[in-house]
Structure 1
Amino acid sequence: MSSAVEFDRVARPDGWWRSAVVYQIYPRSFQDSDGDGIGDIPGITSRLDYLAELGVDVLWLSPVYASPQVDNGYDISDYTDIDPLFGTLADLDALLAAAHERGIKLVMDLVVNHTSDLHAWFTESREPGSAKRDWYFWRPARPGCEPGTPGAEPDDSHAAFAPSAWTYDPRSGEYYLGIFSPGQPDLNWENPEVRQAVYAMMRWWVDRGVDGFRMDVINLISKPEELTLGGPIEPGQGSLRRVANGPRLDEFLAEMNREVGLDAQNLLTVGEMPGATIEVARRVTDPARHELNMVFTFEHVNLDQASWSKWDLAELPLPRLKENLAQWQDGLAEAGWNSLYYDNHDQPRAVSRFGDDSPEHRVDSAKTLATVLHLHKGTPYIYQGEEFGMTNAPLTQIEQYLDVESLNYHSLASAAGVPEEQILRSLARKGRDNARTPVQWDATPYAGFTTGIPWMAVNPNYRQINADEARRDPDSVFAHFQQLIRLRHSSEVVREGRFQLLLPDHEQLWAFTRTLGDEVLLVVANCSSAPAELPVGSLPDLDGAELILGTHPDAAATTLAPWESRLLRLSPPR
């Protein structure tokens, strides 16, 4: 997989990602360049000046590889080719070169827990006796059952997007494991040939000039011993939790780091790890272990659910959210590193979920949520449109949904007798479609996303909420994000200062300090749609404090307006 072509590089000094801000692009919905209604790589290239204006350092590109699109590209049929939906490999090389010219690095999405069922590896694996048979998990029917009949699956495990994690293959006469869907069979990382094939592919991308990898569900690559030894997965709901953080995870990650040269080349590595605890995250991000730079925790985005199911809605009091993020700050303070995010392609819009997306409060709540997140310690991630306050879509009928997860939930919940109104309420709040409506660039038809018919309907509020409007307003959400990014670049205390949560039980205020040497920054944020009194006696001395960044003009008032936030530099002690 080596290439004789010399590709562009940018400097990657040690620890560069600690001062970086990452911007995630979901290509299908970012910018269409050819009028087919689907975002593409040339469209991304056309918007690089906008991203440079915002000030971000890294682009994380969600999958653009060849794929049958069962799960919008997270089912890859060829790791070293680009899907024609998005362009060509030459387009990707051009994007990479243009980004590097602007000092912006590019991180690829790495999806190696599973492939597509159309990948050549899996096609060969389907043949009994094939040399690649053991590249995937194949099992016979349950003892005493006829293969392919209901209840004959090797065990009762559920898939994320299907009723069973096991799919019968008539050609093989056996079942294969796909813990997401039948179109996404799991690779068997116990096989060293699988691992070496993955590492060779990663080296191929590094040779082309990419600057790192976001690793999809990477903590699922090491499966439980009972499965790898031929037994069943423990039955029950929430099967993903039962295959996470397996016994060889650290071994595999350290091997990957060594074989690909991740640390040696100062590449950014972030592992998506559903079900990972603080202990797991601290272990895999400890620099001394040479595994990953950081992980995506899921705990804070699971707090608004009442059970293992994301669709089982629950209220989220502010103290609970503050406590969780503070635990991660404290847990990774001495060894490891945090990734900071609210939004991504799998999560609803932050301003609709954690803020107030009403016309009265949308701008201030988007600003204040950003202030709080970006002033924690770690690497912040911005999801496309978050920087100007895009909201959830007004989806009220199942016919409006496109995502496989949403459609699967509707089917299963309907069959179980859950009222349609309840199903739709859960989908509207938590469905992934909310994150995937096209980026709202301007107030022209289809929000400037395409000259054709968009693959997914544009949020109708694009005439009021769009990037063009935000860029022209010096008091916009976009301008606020620019200031936060500049602070991370310029302030060592923002990057490296010690975190301490204040007022942990306050129902409205999110307050904390960042401290480095004699410099102390104080964040006070009213995360509610009602005024909040500042409990001066419970905070550090504010006499002589300097306002660094605020959402409202009267920074001396002791009452914070709804969704007002302030960043203050405290006077040094005398």
Structure 2
Amino acid sequence: MVYQIYPRSFQDSNNDGIGDLNGIKQRLPYLKKLGVDVLWLNPIYQSPDVDNGYDIADYEKIQPDFGTMTDFDQLLAAIHENGLKLVMDLVVNHTSDQHKWFQESKRSQDGPYADYYIWRDPVDGHEPNNWGASFNGSAWTYVPERGQYYLHLFAPEQPDLNWENEEVRQQVYSLMRFWLDKGIDGFRMDVINMISKVPGLPDGPLAQGAVYGDSSKFTTNGPRLNEFLQEMNREVLSQYDVMTVGEMPGVTPELAQQYTSLAGTELNMVFQFEHVSLAGNPDRRLGKWNDQPIKLSELKKSLSRWQEGLDGKGWNSLYWNNHDQPRAVSRFATDDSKYRAKAAKMLGTTLHFLQGTPYVYEGEELGMTNAHYTQLQQYEDIESLNAFHEYVEKEKIVDEQTMLEYLAHMSRDNARTPMQWDDTQNAGFSAAKPWFALNPNYREINAKDELAEQDSVFYYYQKLIKLRHQEAVIRYGSYQLLDPKDEQVFAYLREFQGTTLLVINNFTTETVERDYDQGKGKLLLANYPAGKLTELRPYESRAYLL
């Protein structure tokens, strides 16, 4: 069981409005009480914070906002003393443009760092190809000193490293050893399947009306990815007792079988995006930006494809929420107010009884919701702001009000509001004004109230975690989907060594009738008091041992 911490928003200990390492240490008893095994920290390295830490200027220094290396060492010791493990974020597809490697690389085409990044000559006085960046605009930026463009698949301040250069790879392995030798327990690897690009960097396909081409076919799951991951495993990972998970946009179960093979030559598991990318905008130029509900049959089909595809061949990571996704209870439930707690528990049940390693994102165990912002100035995230300027002001694809509705539904900022600890000023996060605005509902949804209420989302998640530790069928069982076309109920079976688990989840605000012969089983967990056996109330969830 992994608990993800976004350090900037978790707990401020020195009242500067920014969460920090000592704040995390302060909350270890809370995390121990929840029952998780592993903590994953988003980047805490020195950074200009163009992309909230995913633009790293020095991999071996702590961002001063978060504390010092001494603070980190003390936090790591405290984590281990509490019987927990620590996983760090590894961001090595790109660095910050303030990193010393890039500062040297951009000086000339001849220096020792000249080939550390992906540089190309202009073509007819323009960019080397038509690729667009993930945060809008071109994926290329021109540097007069070199007379060349460099590639950045994200912000211009995040130049892509050249993994074809063996020296770059050895530098990465060295910085990994730096942290592993300190005693950390593994890495979550940011967009790690983008480190191998297709040679020649050809133009990407253009959607109708689009300005930039889609590079994903040439930048994800590239020709040398397996080779690079195997080298990393051989030279570094296999030398330590660690857990690894690779964030991999555009990955398939077939590819994930290679990356997470039980032979253990690459990674332990991958983060895939299929189930959180099902609702899209009919206008393909807008990409992820939409406010559409996800069709349950499609969600079931996607999750089932991964459950069946990796069973006995690889390993799934299970998540609804993270720092890049809106809050699940607002996204997957049609009512995140009246039925918020019931829906949060139902979503937890659906996910935690699947095969794989579950991840809980800070505040998910409280049923935290989207912030439902209504004005652009309330947003902070570079992706959200760039998208608004690009699609509303520059290209005029969509009107302002509609785009604000899309941001309220999908913006990453929904996950980044400060953790809601109590109902006092600033929600117990800080005595100072927080770096980012609190979700206004913190007085109704907070950890203090949840810990005081035995029927809370927190204690339900605690039960889910405890059951996974206790029941082998939850950890190891095979998976079988029931009624794939049912648009109201997500029901499935898990089976292991003669034990069968039946999981039933109502994804609607309606009361529905379903009969799965559940009367033959022993009720393991439910989010409602006992009711009619075959009746499922709004967002009702039940699990039975048969």
TM surpasses 0.5: yes
Greater mean alpha carbon deviation, residues 235-244 or residues 208-217 = 235-244
- Give the corresponding residue for 1:15: none
1:250-274 deviation digits (Å, cap 9, x = unpaired): 00001001111x2443311000000
From 64, 75, 81, give the equivalent of 1:95: 75
- Give the corresponding residue for 2:142: 168
1:454-479 deviation digits (Å, cap 9, x = unpaired): 11110110000001111111100000
The CA distance in 2 between the partners of 1:409 and 1:422, in whole Å, is: 13
From 379, 384, 407, give the equivalent of 1:406: 384
- Is the contact made by 2:291 and 2:405 (CA closer than 8 Å) also made in structure 1? no
Structure-2 change in CA distance of 1:233 and 1:77 (3 Å): farther
The CA distance in 2 between the partners of 1:29 and 1:107, in whole Å, is: 18
Indicate the SS of the match to 2:270.
strand
Superposition map of 1:5-84 within 5 A: 21-84=1-64
- Give the corresponding residue for 1:138: 119
- Give the corresponding residue for 1:209: 183
1:68, distance to aligned residue in structure 2 (A): 0.3
Give the aligned residue type for 1:285: T
Give the aligned residue type for 2:479: F
Give the aligned residue type for 1:69: D
The CA distance in 1 between the partners of 2:229 and 2:491, in whole Å, is: 36
Provide the TM-score with structure 2 as the length reference.
Answer: 0.96
Indicate the SS of the match to 2:102.
helix
From 351, 358, 366, give the equivalent of 2:329: 351
Give the aligned residue type for 1:461: N
Indicate the SS of the match to 2:164.
coil
From 468, 473, 479, give the equivalent of 1:488: 468
1:172, distance to aligned residue in structure 2 (A): 1.6
From 103, 108, 121, give the equivalent of 1:123: 103
1:517, distance to aligned residue in structure 2 (A): 1.5
- Is the contact made by 1:78 and 1:119 (CA closer than 8 Å) also made in structure 2? yes
The CA distance in 2 between the partners of 1:233 and 1:511, in whole Å, is: 40
Q: For the aligned residues, what is the CA RMSD?
A: 1.3
Superposition map of 1:265-344 within 5 A: 265-288=240-263, 290-306=265-281, 309-344=287-322
1:157, distance to aligned residue in structure 2 (A): 0.9
The CA distance in 1 between the partners of 2:217 and 2:436, in whole Å, is: 31
Indicate the SS of the match to 1:380.
strand
1:132, distance to aligned residue in structure 2 (A): 1.2
- Is the contact made by 1:62 and 1:109 (CA closer than 8 Å) also made in structure 2? yes
1:289-340 deviation digits (Å, cap 9, x = unpaired): 5100000011111101135500144432111101100010000012000000
- Give the corresponding residue for 2:361: 383
1:430, distance to aligned residue in structure 2 (A): 0.2
Q: Does 1:564 align with 2:540?
A: yes
From 504, 507, 510, give the equivalent of 2:487: 507
The CA distance in 2 between the partners of 1:429 and 1:44, in whole Å, is: 29
- Is the contact made by 2:293 and 2:332 (CA closer than 8 Å) also made in structure 1? no
The CA distance in 2 between the partners of 1:161 and 1:334, in whole Å, is: 37
Indicate the SS of the match to 2:544.
strand
- Is the contact made by 1:125 and 1:133 (CA closer than 8 Å) also made in structure 2? yes
- Give the corresponding residue for 1:551: 527
- Give the corresponding residue for 2:370: 392
1:557, distance to aligned residue in structure 2 (A): 2.5
From 163, 171, 186, give the equivalent of 1:189: 163
Q: Does 1:522 align with 2:502?
A: yes
1:141, distance to aligned residue in structure 2 (A): 1.2
Gap regions ≥5 residues in structure 1: 1-20, 146-151
From 426, 444, 454, give the equivalent of 2:434: 454
The CA distance in 1 between the partners of 2:365 and 2:49, in whole Å, is: 28
Tell me the percent identity: 54
- Is the contact made by 1:59 and 1:104 (CA closer than 8 Å) also made in structure 2? yes
1:188, distance to aligned residue in structure 2 (A): 0.3
Structure-2 change in CA distance of 1:239 and 1:312 (3 Å): farther
From 421, 432, 442, give the equivalent of 1:441: 421
The CA distance in 2 between the partners of 1:68 and 1:209, in whole Å, is: 26
The CA distance in 1 between the partners of 2:496 and 2:338, in whole Å, is: 37
Deviating 4+ runs (over 6 angstroms): none
- Give the corresponding residue for 2:395: 416
Structure-2 change in CA distance of 1:233 and 1:137 (3 Å): farther
1:232, distance to aligned residue in structure 2 (A): 5.8
- Is the contact made by 1:32 and 1:43 (CA closer than 8 Å) also made in structure 2? yes
Give the aligned residue type for 2:113: K
1:76-112 deviation digits (Å, cap 9, x = unpaired): 0000000101111111111110010001100000000
- Is the contact made by 1:555 and 1:566 (CA closer than 8 Å) also made in structure 2? no
1:384-435 deviation digits (Å, cap 9, x = unpaired): 0000100000210111111000000000011222211111111110001100
1:239, distance to aligned residue in structure 2 (A): 2.5
The CA distance in 2 between the partners of 1:275 and 1:565, in whole Å, is: 31
1:356, distance to aligned residue in structure 2 (A): 4.2
Give the aligned residue type for 1:413: Y
Give the aligned residue type for 1:523: V
- Is the contact made by 2:136 and 2:390 (CA closer than 8 Å) also made in structure 1? no
1:357, distance to aligned residue in structure 2 (A): 4.5
From 101, 106, 128, give the equivalent of 2:86: 106
Greater mean alpha carbon deviation, residues 44-53 or residues 234-243 = 234-243
Structure-2 change in CA distance of 1:385 and 1:321 (3 Å): same
Count of residues in Structure 1 that have an aligned counterpart in Structure 2: 535
Give the aligned residue type for 2:362: Q
- Is the contact made by 1:283 and 1:289 (CA closer than 8 Å) also made in structure 2? no
Give the aligned residue type for 2:476: E
- Is the contact made by 1:527 and 1:563 (CA closer than 8 Å) also made in structure 2? yes
- Is the contact made by 1:179 and 1:240 (CA closer than 8 Å) also made in structure 2? no
Structure-2 change in CA distance of 1:142 and 1:458 (3 Å): same
Give the aligned residue type for 2:160: D
Structure-2 change in CA distance of 1:530 and 1:263 (3 Å): farther
Give the aligned residue type for 2:82: R
The CA distance in 1 between the partners of 2:349 and 2:238, in whole Å, is: 31
Superposition map of 1:422-437 within 5 A: 422-437=402-417
- Give the corresponding residue for 2:209: none
Q: Does 1:237 align with 2:213?
A: yes
Indicate the SS of the match to 1:469.
helix
Provide the TM-score with structure 1 as the length reference.
Answer: 0.91
- Give the corresponding residue for 1:3: none
The CA distance in 1 between the partners of 2:293 and 2:413, in whole Å, is: 21
